[in-house]
Structure 1
């Protein structure tokens, strides 16, 4: 039975602007997509990995992953018009591969720690689904326009990250039955009645969405270069 990874890289990154989707932009000379792929391939527990891309990004993907010689890295597949559809198409591509557990990860989270990946995989020994998340620590307020109305309790609230992992057969069936878009794959799983557990994520595992996030990513690369090569991201 294998552990497979689906890296979702089919988005267009409209909020960031520019002609090149954010997952292909260089961060310290290496694209976010490649950093994400390498983070998973660095682990022996990963048996197969595939990237799902927009049909227009075939050449960008080839450039980003050029020189990666790893038999576990499969040819990319094309996604659909929504993230949910792209994930479903990616999952369909693993049918027949003896996949038991699958991890779905955003290509725009290039600094996912090995410890987080391993924790999600470990949680799947007991649960049908598991995902990385961080508890909400900031004060929350409801508002109308820019007028504060009332504080909102942050108890029980979490900031979801990826990877989000699942028993393969269950999440594939859930995506096949799901209609429309979804916030993430946990939403698809919960709609299908799957039990999903939370494991602690990492602040370094942030998603690149804005220009400020790109600056933060460059700073993270500098920090990692100054750290021990064997040190896990914190």
Structure 2
């Protein structure tokens, strides 16, 4: 609630006309998304509405990624921003107290998920309704809810970029500062 009130003050002071509501976040991402979906349903959002969900800790999202998500929802009911992994990804399993490699997917098939993630409202709402009945499910992003609970719904990939950085640790700050400086230089 304290954070929400601070955000409300900032929005009021800056005069952002597109902000319609500010909600309290949940204990986990899934809780925050569920609260937002409930609020949108209560506001009467139609099922075919295009919904974009974005991490606040990704401040450098490109307009082309946002536009790509909106456009992808003309053909698909779900889309996510991602970019091809340049690293080899290892899938693991536990062997006692040690993680061991279980498989290595082909690199051309691996992408790093980002946000925004976009959905037709009825699709993400239905996926969350199904997930709510699974006490063991704790998704790290909203695309996974659709992939796991609506497996017949294809999720389109929209081009992301390395500059759509998730700023979550102090180690991320030098990169974030460099990206911010580059953006400011380009705007001059």
Q: What CA distance in whole angstroms lies between the structure 2 residues aligned with 1:150 and 1:80?
A: 33
SS in 2 for 1:166: strand
SS in 2 for 1:120: helix
Q: What CA distance in whole angstroms lies between the structure 2 residues aligned with 1:164 and 1:74?
A: 19
Aligned-residue RMSD, C-alpha:
2.6
Deviation track 1:109-160 (CA, whole Å, cap 9, x = no partner) reads: 0010101100111011000100110111123457889999798332311100
Structure number with the higher strand fraction is 1
**Following TM superposition, by how much is the alpha carbon of 1:186 offset from its aligned partner in structure 2, in angstroms?**
0.6
Match of 2:17 in 1: 71
Is 2:80 the partner of 1:80?
no
Single out whichever of 83-92 and 106-115 deviates more from structure 2: 83-92
**Following TM superposition, by how much is the alpha carbon of 1:63 offset from its aligned partner in structure 2, in angstroms?**
4.8
Equivalent residues of 1:139, 1:151 under 8 A apart: no
Deviation track 1:11-37 (CA, whole Å, cap 9, x = no partner) reads: xxxxxxxxxxxxxxxxxxxxxxxxxxx
User: Structure 1, unaligned stretches of length 5 or more?
Assistant: 1-54, 230-234
SS in 1 for 2:49: strand
Match of 1:121 in 2: 70
**Across the two proteins, how many residue pairs are aligned to each other?**
175
Q: Alpha carbons of 1:149 and 1:92: their partners in 2 closer, same or farther (altered >3 Å)?
A: closer
Match of 1:209 among 159, 168, 187: 168
Single out whichever of 146-155 and 176-185 deviates more from structure 2: 146-155
Match of 1:226 among 170, 178, 185: 185
Show the 5 A alignment for 1:88-127.
Answer: 88-95=34-41, 96-98=44-46, 100-127=49-76
The ranges of structure 1 where at least 4 consecutive aligned residues each deviate by more than 6 angstroms after the TM superposition are: 142-151
Match of 2:119 among 132, 149, 166: 166
Match of 1:186 among 143, 149, 156: 143
Structure number with the higher helix fraction is 2
Match of 1:48 in 2: none
Q: What CA distance in whole angstroms lies between the structure 1 residues aligned with 2:36 and 2:101?
A: 43
Equivalent residues of 2:61, 2:163 under 8 A apart: yes
Q: Alpha carbons of 1:111 and 1:155: their partners in 2 closer, same or farther (altered >3 Å)?
A: same
Query: TM-score w.r.t. structure 2 length?
Result: 0.81
